[in-house]
Amino acid sequence: MKEYFTKNIKNIAILGHSNSGKTTLADSLLFYGKATDRIGSTSEGTAVLDFDPEEKKRGCSVQTSVFALPFNDYKLNIIDAPGLFDFAGGVTEAISAADSVVIAISGKSGLTNGAKQAFEKAKKQNKSIGFFVGKLDSSHAHFYRVISALVANYGSLICPVTVPYIEEETVKCYVDLIENKAYSYNGFDATETALPDSTEIGQMRDMLLEAVASVEESLMEKYFGGEQFTTEEIVSALKKGVKSGEICPVYCGVQQKGDAIPLFANGIAEIMPSAGEASFTLSDGKTETFNSEKENALFVFKTIADPFVGKLSYFKVLSGFVSSDMKLKNSRTGEEERITKVMWLKGGKQEEADKVFAGDIACVSKLGDVMTGDTLSSSGTISVKSPEFPKPTLKTAIYPANKGDEEKINSGLNRLMEEDKTISLYSDTETKEQVISTLGEQHLDLIVSKLKSKFGTDVVLKEPKIAYRETIRKAVKAQGRHKKQSGGHGQFGDVIIEFEPCDSDELIFEEKVFGGAVPKNFFPAVEKGLRESTAKGVLAGFPMVGIKATLVDGSYHPVDSSEMAFKMAASIAFKEGVSQANPVLLEPIGTLKVLASDDVLGDIIGDINKRRGRIIGMNPIGNMTQEIIGEVPIAEMSDFSTALRSITGGSAEFDLDFVRYEDVPQMIADKIIAERKSE
């Protein structure tokens, strides 16, 4: 493939809700651009951009993929992102690499939460946005219902460019509103036909003209003067409006068959901004344009970590150019990295490239300590603002299925975390469990599958244990006496200790011994015996908190007393005293914050109440969205992310942070204690 300069490079991400047809749309573009000899199918595992074995097995995208497509005078880097919420990290990667975004919408399913979220994320990153309404050959597909929903949500931004003419729920032809011509399609082959006399199409043409007129004052004057716009004027205004974010063009067609795909392909190639018209944000907040005349620099937006192939880094050139055998410095580590062989991306394949200019996308293998989000440059001083990945919310304890596989599992998970920034892993020192956090059940299932297929290890998943605590609710006095005689010196220690509740995570120890009943040199042993005893409570063996222990009396033997004896005596006193001090079980309570639309608040609050939660308040955020604030037992929240997604269709977000411990209700406490004793 020949080299392309910044002004002729267009990086277009295709986003959308799962099953909206976005990957098939990408495949149809590749076929129309003569890069492939057929349109692949996600369900059959033949889609070019769903090349990973997991994608073929599941029939859906699970990662971001890129295909470099020469098209007319341009190079289109088509970036296909996953549609399932569980793989939303791929959407973040795709948007960070793209200059513009096309959101695929199923004419049958309509404007879904996935499409809305894609729009919001792209808008937040100041990307140019267009829409493609597809699957118009499906029963009950309704293009004009989708247009109405888009206008209801995004108002004057919506600008139809290609629309269908429909009779008896069947598309008869497609109308190019720019040239005001109609075409019937046999796959990708178009035949011009008579422009239908349709009120709806007339309204769509008016929407287009109003949208382009609003971009330029001269066109607004012509519009109100009743003058006709030339095709060149419309295209010029569309390009300007799309670049500024004032216009979101809407195309349509049938991805799998190719109907109206030529209009879409030629349209986005002409209208969507090039890399030369786009910009990126540095870590200090400054904005820069892609410029081939400046210092050589690149930004890594995706990493693939494969145990057989090695690490593959997907990058976008920020400035200058990148070529093989070049050395660049990582701004994060300060280390110099050698760019071995630069390659264009062709889905699951790569093609060697001599030189890649600013604004273009390529990949390189074996970049040492380079991570997703890193910036490499000649000086090492350029640093791009790292993308914000979704926070994982589903926590699961992970165990090896076979003894001795711990190291293999940890190695595999670390490699997977290199390529997926939405996975986190930590070891819970209290429960002695490794806990993995993911975006959902399908995300977790993918990780388990990859551990087996790529790293040859099986794991067992369990609900994470809860770090309960125990404490006391009344003051008592207890004696601990340790006496043992076994030839020679015996062992003797005797203490009387007062135990009382207090507000402390650790045991508070004091002594008020009079008259030397217990010598001072044994005080540390008494304290040590008490502190060690707090590690395992009397109810269910959980750590004890909120206890003050005061040594008030005791006795000793001048020969048989020892530190060990007084330590044992303190332990006996602790067990005796705490058992009588109304011990209770404590559970961790978290502050829950949920962002959700007004129409689902009732269902969310009902779910929180079922989890023994308490609603503290609600804050209006705007745009028909509320923030629900509550407190909930963390033990009840293991499947909350799954339930919330089910209730809201994936539109809500939440945070859960530990705040304090509270008493467990007695019925639940009895069950926990019984389970612990049976273990």
Domain 586-678 in the same topology as domain 394-462: yes
Q: pLDDT tens digit string along 627-640?
A: 999 999 999 999 99
| Segment 200-217 mean pLDDT | 95
Classify 383 as helix, strand or coil: coil
Distance CA 19, CA 17 (A): 6
Distance CA 291, CA 445 (A): 42
Question: Is the pTM higher than 0.85?
Answer: yes
Q: Kindly compute the dihedral angle of the four CA atoms of residues 535, 541, 546, 547, in this order, to the nearest 10 degrees.
A: -70
Q: pLDDT tens digit string along 543-577?
A: 999 999 999 999 998 888 889 999 999 999 999 99
Ranges 225-239, 316-330, 483-497, 554-568: which has the least confidence: 483-497
In this model, does residue 485 exceed pLDDT 80?
no
For residue 140, name the pLDDT band (cuts at 50, 70, 90).
confident
Pick from 123, 86, 107, 158: which is nearest to 449 by CA?
A: 86
| Segment 177-184 mean pLDDT | 96
Q: pLDDT tens digit string along 269-301?
A: 999 999 999 999 999 999 999 999 999 999 999
**Residue ranges covered by each domain of the chain:** 6-279, 292-377, 394-462, 470-581, 586-678
For residue 677, name the pLDDT band (cuts at 50, 70, 90).
confident
Domain 470-581: state its class: alpha beta
CATH 3.40.190.80 fits 394-462, yes or no: no
Q: pLDDT tens digit string along 105-117?
A: 999 999 999 999 9
Fold observed for domain 292-377: Elongation Factor Tu (Ef-tu); domain 3 (2.40.30)
- Kindly tell me the sign of the dihedral angle through the C-alpha atoms of 342, 345, 348, 350: negative
In this model, does residue 307 exceed pLDDT 80?
no
pLDDT of residue 430: 86
The token pair at 618 is 């609600």
pLDDT of residue 629: 97
Residues 6+ apart with CB under 8 A from 254: 134, 135, 136, 137, 171, 260, 261
What percent of the chain lies above the pLDDT cut of 90?
88
Q: What is the 3-state secondary structure (H, E, C) of 620-675?
A: EEECCEEEEEEEEEHHHCCCHHHHHHHHHCCCCEEEEEEEEEEECCHHHHHHHHHH
pLDDT of residue 487: 61
Amino acid at 239: K
Domain 6-279: state its class: alpha beta
pLDDT of residue 596: 93
The token pair at 400 is 């090896």
pLDDT of residue 569: 96
CB 20 within 8 A of CB 104: yes
pLDDT of residue 165: 96
First-last CA distance in the chain: 65
| Segment 464-475 mean pLDDT | 96
Q: pLDDT tens digit string along 411-455?
A: 999 999 999 999 999 999 889 999 999 999 999 999 999 999 999
Q: pLDDT tens digit string along 33-81?
A: 999 999 999 888 999 999 999 999 999 999 999 999 999 999 999 999 9
| Segment 528-537 mean pLDDT | 96
CATH 3.30.9.10 fits 586-678, yes or no: no
| Segment 237-256 mean pLDDT | 97
Q: pLDDT tens digit string along 74-101?
A: 999 999 999 999 999 999 999 999 999 9
Across the chain, mean pLDDT equals 94
Pick from 109, 344, 71: which is nearest to 83 by CA?
A: 109
